[in-house]
């Protein structure tokens, strides 16, 4: 690895001059510029990012903190973020927190010492006081954390309401809710919508709580279906649970959508892999990631912007699992 010093020597100039042509700053004679360029080429010189970071107190790197990349919701989100950051010269570092606050705090601590320039955070546990000490822009993704922290979210409550309305329109009256974990903000919003909806429409409230996983979705649907015999629709807290419900129905010999309608939430790719294909409230996952990255980029360029709160809309995608 050649250094700027060697390039300077090779070109017969000083390091300052090399730095100038490197960064197009200050005056430099065309001839010397060419000589420097030639030296750079010959020595295959590549500026040292670490040294540059030390001086600039900035690493052209952002952190992306998510619960777990193996959750099918996140790969697309991650891709979106990288797809917008990379062309702008930023590297993205991914962190899996497993929703463990200790891990999250560890990561955050590491970031500042690495001159990470900004962070995108998906977390149910992180609060203002944890993020406040960070001197870099932060974007909260998927979950709103605090009014003082910019965020990109979707309208979980309203969308859930719409999903439920659709089920009623299609003639469902005994609608059960397969709820996600209570500590997850998005699932509690969806649950809240379900409760309000059933109350408003005078429908029976049938709730079964589980975790955001396939097995859980299946097992809990089994329980649900034995506990409440007359269920004619299931509104699941997310797609993975909904697919679990589909599996349970298949196992119990219940025909979907004829005897039972199943509605998911998220719009992950899995939903198109199953038969019948899953009807779902589709989040614009890729756009959410894009938007968050763009907001971060804006704050990177012009620091001190007031916290913006963007709310995207989920959209009902009717496929085959509902009447």
Partner DNA sequence: TTGTACGCGTTATCAT
Partner DNA sequence: ATGATAACGCGTACAA
- Please report, as ranges, the residues that interact with a copy of itself according to CB under 8 A: 1, 46-51, 53-54, 59, 68-70, 72, 74-76, 78-79, 82, 91-94, 96, 109-110, 112-115, 135, 214, 240, 243, 246-247, 250, 269-270, 272-275
Q: Which one, 43 or 93, has the nearer CB to a copy of itself?
A: 93
Q: Is 43 in the site for DNA (CB under 7 A)?
A: no
Among DNA, a copy of itself, none, the one that 207 touches (CB under a kind-dependent 5 to 8 A) is: none
Interface residue with DNA, options 9, 37, 43, 47 (CB under 7 A): 47
Q: Which one, 66 or 193, has the nearer CB to a copy of itself?
A: 66
Q: Which one, 55 or 135, has the nearer CB to DNA?
A: 55
> Residue 301 to residues 135, 226, 296, 305: CA-CA distances in angstroms?
14, 57, 9, 10
- CA 93 and chain centroid, separation: 13
Q: Which one, 115 or 228, has the nearer CB to a copy of itself?
A: 115
Among a copy of itself, DNA, none, the one that 69 touches (CB under a kind-dependent 5 to 8 A) is: a copy of itself
Among a copy of itself, DNA, none, the one that 29 touches (CB under a kind-dependent 5 to 8 A) is: DNA
- CA 265 and chain centroid, separation: 15
Cβ atoms of residues 276 and 249 within 8 Å: no
Residue 140 Cβ, how far from a copy of itself at the closest point, in Å?
21
Residue 198 Cβ, how far from a copy of itself at the closest point, in Å?
28
How big is the CA angle at 264 (ends 244 and 164), to the nearest 5 degrees?
Answer: 130
Residue 23 Cβ, how far from DNA at the closest point, in Å?
5
Binding part of the chain for DNA, among 1-9, 83-91, 147-155, 180-188 by CB under 7 A, reads: 1-9
CA dihedral 254, 255, 259, 262 (to 10 degrees): 90
Cβ atoms of residues 157 and 192 within 8 Å: yes
Among a copy of itself, DNA, none, the one that 185 touches (CB under a kind-dependent 5 to 8 A) is: none
Q: Which one, 161 or 257, has the nearer CB to a copy of itself?
A: 257
Cβ atoms of residues 243 and 273 within 8 Å: no
- CA 3 and chain centroid, separation: 39
Instruction: Determine the Cα–Cα distance for residues 196 and 198; give it in Å rounded to an integer.
Output: 6
Question: Helix count (H) and strand count (E) of the chain?
Answer: 13, 12
DSSP state of 276: S
Cβ atoms of residues 211 and 178 within 8 Å: no
Lay out the site mask for DNA across 10-39 (x = CB under 7 A, - = otherwise): --xxxxxx-xx-xx-xxxxx-xxx------
Q: Spell 87-106 as b/e; 16+ CB within 10 A means b.
A: eeebebbebbbebeeeebee
Lay out the site mask for DNA across 48-67 (x = CB under 7 A, - = otherwise): x--xx-xxxx----------
Contacts with DNA by CB under 7 A lie at 1, 3-5, 12-17, 19-20, 22-23, 25-29, 31-33, 45-48, 51-52, 54-57
């Amino acid at each position: 690895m050649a250094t700027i010093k060697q390039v300077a020597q090779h070109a017969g100039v000083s390091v300052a001059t090399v730095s100038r042509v490197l960064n197009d700053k200050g005056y430099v004679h065309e001839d010397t510029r060419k000589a420097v360029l030639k030296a750079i080429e010959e020595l295959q010189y590549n500026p040292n990012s670490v040294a540059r970071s030390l001086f600039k107190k900035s690493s052209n790197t952002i952190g992306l903190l998510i619960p777990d990349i193996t959750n099918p919701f996140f790969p697309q989100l991650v891709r979106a973020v990288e797809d917008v950051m990379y062309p702008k010269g930023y590297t993205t570092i991914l962190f899996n927190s497993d929703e463990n606050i200790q891990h999250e705090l560890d990561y955050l601590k590491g970031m500042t010492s690495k001159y990470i320039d900004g962070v995108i955070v998906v977390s149910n546990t992180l609060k203002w006081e944890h993020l406040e000490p960070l001197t870099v822009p932060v974007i909260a993704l998927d979950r709103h954390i605090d009014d003082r922290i910019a965020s990109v979210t979707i309208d979980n409550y309203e969308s859930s309401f719409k999903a439920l309305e659709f089920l009623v329109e299609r003639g469902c009256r005994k609608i059960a809710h397969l709820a996600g974990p209570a500590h997850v903000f998005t699932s509690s919003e969806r649950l809240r919508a379900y409760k309000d909806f059933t109350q408003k429409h005078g429908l029976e409230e049938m709730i079964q709580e589980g975790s955001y996983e396939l097995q859980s979705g299946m097992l809990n649907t089994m329980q649900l279906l034995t506990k409440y015999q007359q269920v004619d629709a299931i509104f699941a807290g997310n797609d993975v649970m909904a697919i679990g419900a589909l599996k349970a129905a298949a196992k119990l010999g219940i025909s979907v959508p004829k005897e039972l309608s199943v509605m998911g939430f998220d719009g992950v790719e899995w939903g198109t892999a199953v038969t019948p294909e899953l009807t779902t409230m589709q989040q614009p996952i890729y756009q959410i990631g894009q938007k968050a990255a763009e907001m971060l980029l804006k704050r990177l360029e012009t620091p001190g912007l007031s916290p913006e709160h963007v709310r995207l809309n989920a959209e009902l995608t009717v496929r085959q699992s509902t009447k």
